[in-house]
Amino acid sequence: MQSEPKYSLTMRSLHWLVVLAVLIAVVAIEIMDFFPKGSAERAALFMVHQTAGLSVLALMVLRLLARVGTQAPPPVPGTPLVQLVARLTHGVLYVLMVGMPVLGLLALALAGKPIQPFGLNLTLALALDKSLAHLAKEIHESGATVVYIVVGLHAAAALWHEFILKDRLLRRMI
Ligand code: HEM
Ligand code: HEM
């Protein structure tokens, strides 16, 4: 019997590592607001946010290379419209997972603030531009809402396949 088509082990590992890193980035930044401005806890949580967010970027670079270098399984049967929506959603997720960390990075660097992955204190040699920094921060914050919506729809679709359609789609990514 032929085994079911799956994403490669590299693609599967990278998918769940990205999910984990996004979860850490989001939880860290959301609980940051419970602590007073200037507190050590706030600074530590912001460092965790940046570390996890920049890890998403690094993992996405590997993921894009892996995606180009390996064969994705053929799409599961579905109407052309459903297939199109799935492809579009995946495309939007790729754009968000690269765009969000880059915008976060720019929001800090263009304002002359340090970047602190893993507790380091790095300064990017970019010309200061407060209004561009502000714009990057605004888009980053609005982008976060889009991340919540698109990831929510994507996860709901995966669970719909698993529990309602029972077409074993989730197993392609496990
Ligand atoms: C996939 C990666 C990332 C996601 C999903 C993400 C998500 C978020 C979210 C949900 C917020 C809070 C938005 C709000 O309060 O309205 C935020 C704020 C922020 N993020 Fe990110 N972020 C990511 C990566 C990064 C990276 C890599 C950096 C910088 C190196 C960064 C810098 C910032 C900054 C400066 C803020 C504003 C914090 C404040 O002043 O309150 N983010 N991000
Ligand atoms: C931050 C969260 C997530 C991101 C950024 C993300 C991103 C992606 C992307 C870009 C793909 C397309 C892979 C490709 O063809 O190159 C994908 C596929 C997939 N994801 Fe996610 N995902 C996330 C969370 C989840 C969750 C929570 C689940 C399960 C509940 C899930 C289940 C799947 C499945 C089953 C596939 C394969 C779909 C297929 O075979 O057509 N993902 N994901």
Confidence band (pLDDT; 50, 70, 90) for 120? very high
Q: How far apart are CA 103 and CA 101, in angstroms?
A: 5
What confidence tens digit (pLDDT) does each residue in 132-160 have? 999 999 999 999 999 999 999 999 999 99
Residue 92 has pLDDT above 60, yes or no: yes
What sign results for the dihedral spanned by CA atoms 3, 7, 11, 13?
negative
Domain boundaries, the chain: 9-173
Instruction: Give the chain's end-to-end CA distance (angstroms, integer).
Output: 20
Q: What per-residue confidence (pLDDT) applies to 1?
A: 46
Q: What per-residue confidence (pLDDT) applies to 82?
A: 94
Q: How far apart are CA 166 and CA 160, in angstroms?
A: 8
Q: How far apart are CA 14 and CA 97, in angstroms?
A: 12
Q: What is the CA radius of gyration of the chain?
A: 18
Residues 70-98 have a mean pLDDT of 95
Residues 163-170 have a mean pLDDT of 94
Q: How far apart are CA 32 and CA 43, in angstroms?
A: 8
Ligand 1 pocket test, candidate residues 140, 142, 145, 149, most atoms within 8 A of CB: 140
The answer regarding whether domain 9-173 maps to CATH 1.20.950 reads yes
Q: What per-residue confidence (pLDDT) applies to 4?
A: 81
Residue 126 has pLDDT above 90, yes or no: no
Q: Decide whether any atom of ligand 2 lies within 6 Å of the 151 Cβ.
A: yes
Q: What per-residue confidence (pLDDT) applies to 2?
A: 57
Closest-lying ligand to the alpha carbon of 99? 1
* Cα 54 to averaged position of ligand 1 atoms, centre (Å): 10
Tell me the angle at which helices 80-109 and 40-69 cross, rounded to the nearest 10 degrees: 130
Q: Specify whether the backbone of 112 is left (phi greater than 0), alpha (psi in -120 to 50) or beta.
A: left
Q: What secondary structure, in 3-state letters, does 134-170 show?
A: HHHHHHHHHHHHHHHHHHHHHHHHHHHHHHHHCCCCH
Q: What per-residue confidence (pLDDT) applies to 61?
A: 98
Closest CA to 170 of 12, 2, 10: 12
DSSP state letter for 5: P
Pocket of ligand 1 (CB under 6 A): 22, 25-26, 29, 49-50, 53-54, 56, 97, 100-101, 104-105, 107-108, 115, 137, 140-141, 144, 147
What confidence tens digit (pLDDT) does each residue in 16-30 have? 999 999 999 999 999
Q: What per-residue confidence (pLDDT) applies to 125?
A: 85
Q: What per-residue confidence (pLDDT) applies to 27?
A: 98
